[in-house]
Structure 1
C-alpha cells in the first residue's frame, strides 16, 4: 500500500479499523483524484481497481455481422492486391538484370515495406479493430506496433531518397550518379533511422484485459506511457506530433520542392536550338518517370493525412474516443492509409511500360498458361539492327522484350554468321536461328574483340 503515494497517510493500524465501505471510499478517492503524480504502475493499479469496482456493463461498439462482412471484403481485396502486386514488383526487379537500376532498388525497398506492413501489421490490426479484442498476446502487441511505425517511416524516407535521386539526374546530370552500392547503403540507413523512430513502441507497448458484468473479457493493445495512455497522455501526444512532422510534413515538403524544380526543368525550360532525336527521347523518358513519382507522392499524402490527423484531433477531443461511431471512423481512416500499399503497384503498371510488360507476363502465366505454351512453340523472328548511335539492339516480334546490349564505340559492320539461314535488307540482318547470334564478328573494332550479346531472361 505504501507503494502508492495517495494512501501513504493511512498507516496499517488505521487501515485495520476501517470497514469495507471506508476502504472502498478510499479507493474511489484514489481513482478520481487529479493530484496523483502519474507513473505506469499507478495507472495500471488504478485501471485494475476501476474494473474491479465498476465493471463495464456491455461490450462496447459491437459491429453487426453485415458491417463485419463489408469490412472483411474491403480489407480482403485491399490486402490481396497489395501483397500480390508488391510481390510481383519484387520478382520483376530481382529476376531481371535490366530492371536492377538504382531507382528500381528504391522501388524494391518500398514494396518490401508495403509487404511487411500488409502481412505483419494490417492483418492483425484489422482483426483487433473488427472485434475490439486483441487475441495475439503481449509480445506480438509490441512487434505489431513496432512494425507499423517502422514500415511507414521506411516508405516515406524511400520516397524522399527517390526524389533526391531524380533531382540529381535531371537538374545536375553531369554529377556523379548514385551507384547501386550507395543506394543499398542509403536503404540500410533508412531502415536504421526508421527503427530508432519506432523504438518507443518496444518500450511502452502492453496489453490490458477489461472485465464486464456479463462475464466477458476484452484485451486491448496500446502504448502505456509513463504519464498515462492515449488519448490523455501528453507523451503519447508529443510522440504522435513527432511522427506527423518527421514522416509526413517534412518529407512531403521536401518532395514538393524537388519535384517542382524538376517540373520546371523538364516542362518549363526553353533551350536555344533544336534537340536531337536522342535528346528528345531522353527528355520524354524523364518526364514519364517524374510524372509517375509525382502521382505516387500525391497519393501517399492523400492516403496518410486523415490517419495522422485522427490521433492529434482525438487528443483535443477526448469524447470522440468514447463515441459510438469512432470504430467505423478509425476503420475507414486505417483502410485509406493501408490502401496506399495497394495503389503503388497499380501506378507502376499504369505508367511504366517495362513494369506493365512483366505484370502482363505474370498475369498471362497464371490465368492463360495454354496461350503461353503455344507462343513458346511458335518460331521467333529475331533481327539485329544498327541505329544512328552505333548501338546494336536485339528485338523480338512476339515477346517484345527489350534486351540490354553492349554499346560499340565505332560503327560496326555486322557479318552474317550463316548466309543460308539469314537474309539482309537495308542494313538489317534477319537471323532465323536464335543460336546463331550469340557471338557476332565486328570489323573495325580497335582490339579486334568479339561483341558478345547478352541475353537476359
Structure 2
C-alpha cells in the first residue's frame, strides 16, 4: 500500500499576506504547488508538530507587538499633525496622510491575524475576515506605491518646472480617490476567490481559483506593486537629484535661492529614504517568492517556517518606519510628536515657539530690500517679492511689497 504523506503548504504570495496553508494527502512527497512546503524529518502526526518552541514564539510575539504599537500609533500621530494644523496641509503632506492611512490599515487589519495564522496554522476569524484580510494587504500596498509615485511626480514638476502652477488641493483629493479606486480594483480577486475550508481538523484561509491563475495574479502584483514603481521612482528621483545637486544657478546665487534649494533637497532626501526602506523591507519576500517558484527544494529547508515569519515581520515593519523618518528628518513633524508625548513624565514639555501655528516673521523694512529682484535658478523669472525660507524645510513665506501678509507655499512640507 502506498504510504500517505501529509504535508503542510504555506503560500509564499508576497502580497496576499494571509498565506494559503493547505493540508493535503498525497501519495508521494513530490507535491507541486505555488505554495512553499514545510516538511518535517519525522512523520507528521498533527498540527502540533509544526508549532515553534515557546521561546521562538515569545521572540516573534514581542517583535509583532513592537511593530503594531509603533506602526498604528505613529501613523495616527502623522494623520493628526497634518489634519489638525492648517500650516501642515500641503500637497505633499496630503499624500503622506494617504500613505499613513494605508500603513495603519495593513498593520491593524492584516498583520496580527496573518501572524497568528502563520504561527498556529489555523484560521480562527471566519470567512468574511479571511476575504477581507487577504484583500486589504495588496490594496494597501498598491495605495502605498501609487502614493510614492504621486509624490515623486509632484516633486518632479515642482522642481524641474517651477513656473507651472502647483496642483490645486481639490485635484490632490481627486488623485487620492483615484489611487484607492485603482488599488481596490487590483485587489478584488482576493476578495472574490479567497474563502475558508476545513481540512484535517483545522480551518484554512485559501484561494479557490486554479493554481495557474493564482501564480499569474501574483506575478502581476509583483510587477505592478514593486518592480515597475521602483524603476519609475529611480528614474524620477535621479532626474530630480541631478537638477538639485548637479546643476548650477545662472549668475550669482542669492542666500534666498540657496535656502530654497536646500529646503527642496531635504524634502527629496526624506522621500528617497522612505522609498528605499520600502524596497528593502519587501525585498526578502519577493526574492523568496521567485526562488521558491523556480527552485521548490528551498521550501523544504528545516527552518523554513521561521524564515518565512521573519520575512513576513520584516515586510510588515515597513509600516512603522515612515513616522520615524518624518520625525527624524522634518522639524514640524518632530514638534508634533513632542506635543503628543508631552504627557510622559520622563519627557517634560519645554516652552518653545511653535512652528506648526501660523506666525509672522520679521522682514527688512527697507523698500529697496523688499522690492529687490532676483532670478530663479533657470534665470528666466524675475520676482518682485522677497522670500524668507525656513531652514527647517517648511517652505518660503512671501511678503508682498505693499502688505505685510505671510503666505505659505505648497512646494515644501
TM-score by length of 2: 0.76
Match of 2:46 among 48, 54, 58: 58
**Unaligned stretches of 5+ in structure 1?**
1-23, 29-45, 212-216, 228-232, 377-381, 413-450
Shift of 1:196: 0.9
Classify 1:250/1:138 alpha carbon distance in 2 versus 1 (closer, same or farther; 3 Å): same
**Aligned mates of 1:97, 1:132 — CA distance in 2:** 47
**Aligned mates of 2:386, 2:251 — CA distance in 1:** 25
Q: Partner of 2:266 in structure 1?
A: 288
Give a deviation string over 1:49-93, Cα, whole Å, max 9, x none: 879xxx962224211111110000011111111111101100000
**Aligned mates of 1:336, 1:129 — CA distance in 2:** 14
Secondary structure at 1:386 match in 2: coil
**Aligned mates of 2:183, 2:407 — CA distance in 1:** 42
Matched, 1:224 2:208: yes
Matched, 1:88 2:77: yes
Shift of 1:406: 7.7
Secondary structure at 1:275 match in 2: coil
Matched, 1:410 2:387: no
**Unaligned stretches of 5+ in structure 2?**
5-21, 28-42, 354-358, 371-384, 409-413
**Aligned mates of 1:115, 1:67 — CA distance in 2:** 26
Aligned counterparts, 1:42-57, within 5 A = 57=45
**Aligned mates of 1:298, 1:339 — CA distance in 2:** 13
**Aligned mates of 1:94, 1:206 — CA distance in 2:** 38
CA contact (8 A) 2:110 2:136 kept: yes
**Aligned mates of 1:335, 1:280 — CA distance in 2:** 42
Classify 1:120/1:358 alpha carbon distance in 2 versus 1 (closer, same or farther; 3 Å): same
CA contact (8 A) 1:386 1:392 kept: no
Q: Partner of 1:67 in structure 2?
A: 56
The 10-residue stretch of structure 1 (92-101 or 262-271) with the greater mean CA deviation from structure 2 = 262-271
**Aligned mates of 2:236, 2:397 — CA distance in 1:** 32
**Aligned mates of 1:332, 1:186 — CA distance in 2:** 35
**Aligned mates of 1:101, 1:236 — CA distance in 2:** 40
CA contact (8 A) 1:63 1:130 kept: yes
CA contact (8 A) 1:154 1:190 kept: yes
CA contact (8 A) 1:61 1:324 kept: no
CA contact (8 A) 2:399 2:407 kept: no
RMSD: 3.2
CA contact (8 A) 1:206 1:221 kept: yes
If you compute each CA radius of gyration, which structure gives the higher value, 1 or 2?
1
Higher RCO, 1 vs 2 (CA within 8 Å, ≥6 residues apart)? 2
CA contact (8 A) 2:341 2:347 kept: no
**Aligned mates of 1:200, 1:148 — CA distance in 2:** 12
**Aligned mates of 1:204, 1:383 — CA distance in 2:** 57
Classify 1:403/1:201 alpha carbon distance in 2 versus 1 (closer, same or farther; 3 Å): closer
CA contact (8 A) 2:327 2:333 kept: yes
Match of 1:309 among 287, 303, 314: 287
Secondary structure at 1:206 match in 2: strand
Q: Partner of 1:297 in structure 2?
A: 275
Classify 1:89/1:137 alpha carbon distance in 2 versus 1 (closer, same or farther; 3 Å): same
**Aligned mates of 1:281, 1:143 — CA distance in 2:** 47
Match of 1:386 among 331, 355, 363: 363
Matched, 1:245 2:223: yes
CA contact (8 A) 1:87 1:111 kept: yes
**Aligned mates of 1:292, 1:318 — CA distance in 2:** 39
Q: Partner of 1:365 in structure 2?
A: 343
Equivalenced residue count is: 348
CA contact (8 A) 1:98 1:404 kept: no
**Aligned mates of 1:195, 1:68 — CA distance in 2:** 34
CA contact (8 A) 2:342 2:348 kept: no
Give a deviation string over 1:158-211, Cα, whole Å, max 9, x none: 000000000000011111211111111111111010011111101210222222
Secondary structure at 1:385 match in 2: coil
Classify 1:218/1:323 alpha carbon distance in 2 versus 1 (closer, same or farther; 3 Å): farther
Shift of 1:101: 0.2
